[in-house]
Amino acid sequence: MAKKFFSPGKTHNEHYRLLIEQVKGYAIFMLSPSGIITSWNTGAEMLKGYKAEEVIGKPASIFCEPGNEHRKVNEALATALRKGHFEETGSRVRKDGSHFKANIVITPVYNDDGKLIGYSNITRHISEQFTEDDLVRSSDEFRILADFLPHVVWTANSEGNIIEWNRSFYLFTGLDPEMIKDSRASHVVHPDDVEQLRTVWRNSVLSGSDFEIEFRLRSKEGEYHWHLGRATPIKNRIGRVIKWIGAAMDVHEQKMSMEKKDEFIGIAGHELRTPLTSMKAYVQLLQKALEATDLNTSKKYADKIHSFIDRLNMLVSDLLDISKIHRGKLPLEFSEFSIDDFIRDAVEVQQTSIKTHWIFIEGHAGVKVRADKLRLEQVFCNYLSNAVKYSPGADNVSVIVEHSQGWVTVTVKDYGIGIPAAQIKQVFNKFFRAHNKKSNIQGLGLGLYISSEIIKMHGGSVGVSSEEKSGSTFWFRLPVYSAPGPDGVAGENQNPSSFHA
Ligand code: ADP
């Protein structure tokens, strides 16, 4: 056993003595070989409530619980002598009679000659609980933080009963904090999710393990939103759950967009496979026609294959455009050109492939625009091909070109199936297809989204009006281009700075 040596005033300098005397977090005092208190530091005074003059010369047993205190002190000192130290965590008494939990270490101290000169006693207060002030302060801080968060936050007791909700919960559900004294949320949880939520929560409370579940919560507007709920138990030092803290995050948008993406992948797969299947069939027919050296029929089949390749090419381009738009990397090459010439040329090209409808141009703008010609053609052709695609019973489409107050508007009007009023606001949304389920008309629901993004990148705007079974009118608007004058200042028709939504 290694002995510790202590020579007051010889091996320990004055600074060291002052240090020990002034330590506040620990009660450090010396006992004589018979257990009488011989020194007393500031920490001891603070922890036990006695001043040095009140305890020096008294037996250490005054700090023990009443009962067989002398025997306990003697046993502790004997153990310290035998083992080199004594350690215990237990209850101690303050001067005012109150009890506190402490960790005590007693070590024998020897002089240079190896003679026992006493014992050092270091007592550390162990806080089993926060003080009342601590609790009030930390729960106030928690409440401020919880109310500040945009997510729903709650606390529950060890039995799993809700103690309180934060501000976001009341804001989202529209419930009155005064009204829901029972703090139950089950009436704002979707009826289909209540049972599972209860089961998972009950299991977590019983096992003391983390809680996690997705469930739908009803908003004050009466709509259910998907939430990701999580809770974790707060345990005391001995591992018993004393409280739960939980939070729920609104994941509705993410969940819906995941669903839309899944649906889109299905549609895209189908759309890509259709022309591929047709191409395979026509390639087989072409082979047969070639074997029979029937050149006319071979040419017919080759043209068919060509049109399916164009379709595939368009689909793949749309997919690539979407990815470029998302990354903000859709490059535009601007040039200035007459909008009237542009529309006339584009209609001429389109009319050669559109056999079912006549395209009529009305109006005349007489101005130039500054735009990426190919991208603008993509927008215009998308409007035109939709007008044809969604008006199978009609035989004409009108294109109207106008110029007013610094803006050029190009309108494509058809006399087709129209769009239900409830869906019209969404037609420019990504992946949206108004006629997806009802009709056999193919599409990815990307063309109008891409068109509106392209027009917005030009500082313009898009819009639609429609009536079911009567037809639709789609338009896009661009700022008129006006070349700067000799002084470098733009003329009257300078692009307006206001932005059309
Ligand atoms: P796609 O035509 O490939 O589905 P779009 O983005 O071009 O995709 O159009 C989105 C949806 O808007 C279409 O699915 C269709 O329901 C509707 N739509 C577009 N143009 C018209 C139109 N001229 N008439 C009726 N509905 C249209």
Place of tokens 């006399």: 415
Residues ≥6 apart with Cβ < 8 Å to 219 = 172, 173, 174, 225
Q: What does the buried/exposed string (b/e) look like for 471-495 if buried means 16 or more CB atoms within 10 Å of the residue's CB? A: bbbbbbbbbbbbeeeeeeeeeebbb
Minimal-distance CA residue to ligand 1 atom 11: 433
- Is the shortest distance between the CB of 432 and ligand 1 below 6 Å? yes
Minimal-distance CA residue to ligand 1 atom 2: 443
- Is the shortest distance between the CB of 387 and ligand 1 below 6 Å? yes
Minimal-distance CA residue to ligand 1 atom 12: 427
- Across the strands, what pairs with 456? none
Say how many Å lie between the CA of residue 422 and the centre of ligand 1. Answer: 14
Q: Which atom of ligand 1 is nearest to the CA of 416?
A: 24
* pTM for this entry: 0.57
With the C-alpha atoms ordered 340, 345, 346, 352, is the resulting torsion angle positive or negative?
A: positive
DSSP 359-428: EEEE-----EEEE-HHHHHHHHHHHHHHHHHT-TT--EEEEEEEEETTEEEEEEE--SS---GGGGGGTT
Q: How far is CA 486 from the centre of its chain?
A: 53
Say how many Å lie between the CA of residue 320 and the centre of ligand 1. Answer: 19
Q: Which atom of ligand 1 is nearest to the CA of 474?
A: 23
Minimal-distance CA residue to ligand 1 atom 25: 418
Task: Give 68's Cβ-side CA count (13 Å radius).
Answer: 5
Radius of gyration of the chain (CA): 42
- Is the shortest distance between the CB of 419 and ligand 1 below 6 Å? yes
Pocket test for ligand 1, best of 378, 427, 431 (most atoms within 8 A of CB): 427
Would you give per-residue pLDDT tens digits along the chain (501 residues)?
A: 333 333 344 444 566 666 667 666 688 899 999 889 999 988 888 888 899 999 999 988 887 766 667 778 888 899 888 888 888 877 777 888 887 778 888 988 888 888 898 998 888 887 654 455 555 666 777 788 888 888 999 999 999 998 888 999 999 999 887 776 555 667 899 999 999 999 999 999 999 999 999 999 999 999 999 999 999 998 877 778 889 999 999 999 999 888 888 888 888 898 899 899 999 999 999 999 999 999 999 999 999 999 999 999 999 999 999 989 989 989 999 999 999 999 999 999 999 989 999 999 999 999 999 999 999 999 999 999 999 999 999 999 999 999 999 999 999 999 999 999 999 999 999 888 887 565 678 888 899 999 999 999 999 999 999 999 999 999 999 999 975 656 554 444 443 332 233
Task: Give 198's Cβ-side CA count (13 Å radius).
Answer: 11
Say how many Å lie between the CA of residue 278 and the centre of ligand 1. Answer: 23
Say how many Å lie between the CA of residue 460 and the centre of ligand 1. Answer: 20
Q: What does the buried/exposed string (b/e) look like for 172-204 if buried means 16 or more CB atoms within 10 Å of the residue's CB? A: bbebeeeebeeeebeebbeeebeeebeebbeeb
- Is the shortest distance between the CB of 445 and ligand 1 below 6 Å? yes
Minimal-distance CA residue to ligand 1 atom 23: 387
- Is the shortest distance between the CB of 390 and ligand 1 below 6 Å? yes
- Across the strands, what pairs with 422? none
- Is the shortest distance between the CB of 386 and ligand 1 below 6 Å? yes
- Is the shortest distance between the CB of 443 and ligand 1 below 6 Å? yes
Say how many Å lie between the CA of residue 433 and the centre of ligand 1. Answer: 6
- Is the shortest distance between the CB of 430 and ligand 1 below 6 Å? no
d(CA 453, CA 449): 6
Put the strands of the sheet holding 224-235 in their side by side order. Answer: 162-165, 152-157, 241-250, 224-235, 211-218
- The token pair at 426 is 């969404």
Three-state SS across 79-145?
A: HHHHHCCEEEEEEEECCCCCEEEEEEEEEEEECCCCCEEEEEEEEEECCCCCCHHHHHHHHHHHHHH
Say how many Å lie between the CA of residue 360 and the centre of ligand 1. Answer: 21
List C-alpha distances in Å: 139 to 152, 165, 348, 371, 488: 17, 13, 74, 60, 65
Minimal-distance CA residue to ligand 1 atom 8: 445
- Is the shortest distance between the CB of 119 and ligand 1 below 6 Å? no
Q: Which atom of ligand 1 is nearest to the CA of 414?
A: 23
- Across the strands, what pairs with 122? 28, 105
